[in-house]
Chains A and B, each alone.
Chain A
Amino acid sequence: MDTKELERIANQIRIDIIEMTYEAQSGHPGGSLSAADILTVLYFKEMNVDPDNPRWEDRDRLVMSKGHATPVWYAALAEKGFIPREEIKTFRKINSRLQGHPNMNDTPGVDMTTGSLGQGLSTANGMAIAGKLNNKDYRVYAVLGDGECQEGQIWEAAMSAAHYKLDNLTAILDHNGLQIDGPNKDIMNIEPIEDKWRAFGWHTIRIDGHNIEQIIDAIEEAKTIKGKPTIIIADTIKGKGVSFMENQVGWHGTAPNKEQMEKAIAELKERGERIG
């Protein structure tokens, strides 16, 4: 799949994020939009998964450690064929398989339950250890938030992944600079974040998290690193793709109203046309 096609898919995922959060009148558009390019590359270029057999033993696995980013995950899963397209309209509604935060037993393609921040990386480590024990060559991906890195458990898990030399694990940090109460640097500074991961024994790669080619290259590079885990620090823009949502703390967990939804979708459609 070429870069243009991936960009097109990422744009469609962004449209779905807006529609889902509008339809649900709740959910997290900001941190979903920032991760749209990352998830697009994972699902449409890198990850070895089978929508007809979501629990296939040899599949690559994804843990959305920043579990609130369900809109981007469900949109990618729908696009990939794990769930019917119409179903994304049920997001966050009663009796839906698409819970507000991901639950592995509800949604095909969801490999781990998350929502309480800080827990996902440990579970990804467990999957990576199991891969080594079982002589499987699948890879495990964990998507982390930057605010999430304030959780102590992230650093427990960072230490374990390096200690157990989990080179079949790639973490991707959605480094959008914002959390709920404001910018990371004002709430609880996490910088220098790359130095921290390196000091914990990880191979680090820094990229523009909205550049499809850089995302692909980084994921490919991670596969070649032996004896240690890799983290891709993806500099991103929270709310990316919708002008009035970009870099706005307020769009972390707020749904658009009708007017905002229409404006956002019109912008994204225009963006899609520019991609061609």
Chain B
Amino acid sequence: MDKIATRDAYGKTLLELGSQNKDIVVLDADLSKSTKTNEFAKAYPDRFFDMGISEQDMIGTAAGLATCGKIPFASSFAVFATGRAYDQVRDSICYPNLNVKIAATHAGLTVGEDGATHQALEDISLMRGLPNMTVIVPADATSATKLIKLAAEYKGPVYIRLGRPSVPVIYQDTQEFQIGKGIRLKEGRDISIIATGIMVSKAIEAADMLQKEGITAEVIDIHTIKPIDKELIIDTARRTGRVITCEEHNIYGGLGSAVCEVLSENYPARVKRIGVKDTFGESGTPDELLKKYGLTSEEIVKAAREML
């Protein structure tokens, strides 16, 4: 399986978007080498704005550009784009419903060695709570590319959560995506594994492992956390009656919470949430961290066995 980081897909997609639409502008806050906006900066220097280390100003400037018909992509690490500039995202972008795309990289534990201050584990929760905001968490490079293009076409605020390390490519180029529509990657009868971001590939692995034990699991990619695909979530719960959610995020406020909201109001079913259990991360390699904090296919298999 090929491995590509979703932030690399972002850098390439920006280049393509930049060549097609001159209203695309890109802002960064002194992290363009890491967020991969530097490729756009090289190709279109007049449409790239490094704002320096000032995330609040970057978000506000993006908002002002959007009022004049530009389509700004503003990038930083997820922690800073959503946390440092939360009030700016709220009042200067979401309340006036401006057409700004916040493409944040280095989300989650897989930031690795930089440790807890750099590992956003609450960004989905923060962004999901904002009216008018769409929240997208691609699972691989293919879906990142397609969803970023859809986000550029969509009119309104979008938060796109991207990662640092290379992750397995799980989708073919022919796969179609729609904002707000999840994807059933695998059908099953016994249990549903609903995942987002890098946990989708772990969910697929877990389903394969369960298959060997005679357990068939559905695997669902919820790449859009908001608006969430209620129908698909209710439908899979109806088929299997048991749901596991998996995300590289705090168990509070992210995918797990969103799925519980849908199910408890529409089709109460047992749910087990896999995610970071309300703690901060730490330094380590991405794989060590995922293992230590229980974000592995083995943990998903264990949770499934417990529920069956």
Contacts and interface: CB of A to CB of B under 8 A. Distances in A.
Contacts of A124: 64
Nearest to A114: B91
Nearest to B61: A126
A166 B264 CA distance: 53
A35 interface: no
B44 to A, nearest CB: 11
A153 B96 contact: no
A119 interface: yes
A153 B56 contact: yes
A119 B67 contact: no
Contacts of A128: 64
A125 B60 contact: yes
The 6 nearest A-B residue pairs measured at CB: A126-B64, A122-B60, A130-B68, A156-B57, A156-B54, A123-B64
Contacts of A209: none
B60 A119 contact: yes
Contacts of B69: 57, 130, 134
Question: Chain B interface residue count: which class?
Answer: 20 to 34
Interface residues of A, number: 36
Given A116-B90, A127-B68, A153-B56, 16 more contacts: A103-B96, A113-B96, A115-B91, A122-B57, A122-B88, A125-B60, A125-B61, A126-B61, A126-B72, A129-B61, A129-B64, A130-B68, A134-B69, A153-B54, A156-B52, A164-B49
Contacts of B52: 156, 159-160, 163
Contacts of B68: 57, 126-127, 130-131, 134
Contacts of B34: none
A156 to B, nearest CB: 4
B57 A157 contact: yes
Interface string A107-125: 0000111111011111111
Given A152-B56, A160-B51, A113 B65 contact: no
A105 interface: yes
Q: Looking at chain B's contact residues, is the secondary structure mostly helix, strand, loop, or mixed?
A: helix
A203 B95 CA distance: 33
A133 B26 CA distance: 13
A156 B47 CA distance: 20
A113 B66 contact: no
A126 B62 contact: yes
Contacts of A114: 91
Nearest to B25: A133
Contacts of A157: 57, 60-61
B231 interface: no
Nearest to A125: B61
11 contacts: A115-B91, A121-B60, A122-B60, A122-B63, A122-B64, A122-B88, A126-B68, A127-B68, A129-B65, A156-B56, A159-B57
Contacts of B95: 103, 113
B31 to A, nearest CB: 16
A104 interface: yes
Contacts of A119: 56, 60, 87-88, 91-92
B166 interface: no
Contacts of B58: 122
Contacts of A163: 52
B65 A160 contact: no
A130 B56 contact: no
A129 B66 CA distance: 11
Contacts of A103: 95-96
Contacts of A120: 60
Question: B70, B90, B91 — which one has the most chain A CB atoms within 10 A of its CB?
Answer: B91
B97 interface: yes
Interface string B77-116: 0000000000110111001110000000000000000000
A126 B91 CA distance: 15
A116 B62 CA distance: 17
